[in-house]
Amino acid sequence: MSFKKIFQYFIPKDKIFSALFEQAANNVVAMATILVETVNSLNPETREELIKRIDKLENKGDEITHQIYLELGKNYITPFDREDIHLLASAIDDIADNIKGAANRMSLYRIDDFNIHIKELSELILQAGAELEKAIRELKDLKKVRNIADACIRINSIENQADDIFDRAVADLFLYEKDAIRLIKYKEILSTLETATDMCEDAANVMESILVKHA
């Protein structure tokens, strides 16, 4: 191996990881945007097309995550701890998985009327994804620490709102829904949507950990 190749091996690949994380965050926002459009659509055919788009974007997210793992294996020096890179990539991938999971359940269970709780949770996923995207953009140089910290705080607040909405939604199901099968369908969808916000919080927690280590 030439000296040049050895030298390149030890150069931090900040730009590579930054670009991949930004792509992953952008992909989550795209998925969440389509999810909101899906639950607000009154046309069944349109909803099915939107859900197919979510599925394709989730596959794209898997490819980005895989690429991050490959780069992690190839590069000795990384912009921040290897464990944190792995945890952040996994958390973002989990957000995408749960968005896809919720959308697929809507299709498989043939849900054609989305209550206010499903719409609110979908909107919160989009809000959390947007904050995640902002934080990821700033993470590449760690110069605007306050911006990252503020975005993480907002994500945590959004997750708390999602918890409250989920609890109210489940309570309403048990109070007013008389069809047991329909109750189970809605509860599964609501649970998957709420889990997506949990994963947003997990990603925020990883970023907060990175900030502490680089303080």
Distance CA 100, CA 91 (A): 14
Q: What is the mean pLDDT of residues 132-160?
A: 92
User: What is the sign, positive or negative, of the torsion defined by CA atoms of 141, 147, 152, 155?
Assistant: negative
Domain count within the chain: 1
- pTM, two decimals, is 0.91
Containing structural domain, residue 133:
12-213
Give a yes or no: residue 4 inside a domain: no
2 pLDDT more than 50: no
Distance CA 55, CA 68 (A): 20
Give a yes or no: residue 7 inside a domain: no
Give a yes or no: residue 19 inside a domain: yes
**Per residue in 167-189, pLDDT tens?**
999 999 999 999 999 999 999 99
Q: What is the pLDDT of residue 5?
A: 43
7 pLDDT more than 50: no
Total H helices, total E strands in the chain: 7, 0
Give a yes or no: residue 5 inside a domain: no
CA distances from 94 to 58, 62, 79 (A): 10, 10, 22
Q: What is the pLDDT of residue 176?
A: 94
**Per residue in 67-119, pLDDT tens?**
999 998 887 677 788 899 999 999 999 999 999 999 999 999 999 899 999 99
Closest CA to 158 of 102, 93, 202: 202
Give a yes or no: residue 113 inside a domain: yes
Buried b / exposed e across 148-157, counting CB within 10 Å, b at 16+?
bbebbebbbe
The answer to whether 87 and 68 are in contact (CB under 8 A) is no
Give a yes or no: residue 1 inside a domain: no
Q: Which long-range contacts (CB under 8 A, 24 or more apart) does 69-74 make?
A: 71/13, 71/16, 71/17, 71/20
6 pLDDT tier (thresholds 50, 70, 90): very low
Q: What is the pLDDT of residue 81?
A: 85
The answer to whether 71 and 21 are in contact (CB under 8 A) is no
Q: What is the pLDDT of residue 73?
A: 83
| C-beta neighbour count of 81 within 10 angstroms | 15
Give a yes or no: residue 144 inside a domain: yes
8 pLDDT more than 80: no
Q: What is the pLDDT of residue 10?
A: 39
Give me the CATH number covering residue 204.
Answer: 1.20.58.220
**Per residue in 118-132, pLDDT tens?**
999 999 999 999 999
**Per residue in 13-58, pLDDT tens?**
457 888 999 999 999 999 999 999 999 999 999 999 999 999 999 9
| C-beta neighbour count of 203 within 10 angstroms | 30
**Per residue in 182-214, pLDDT tens?**
999 999 999 999 999 999 999 999 999 999 887
Q: What is the pLDDT of residue 3?
A: 35
Give a yes or no: residue 204 inside a domain: yes
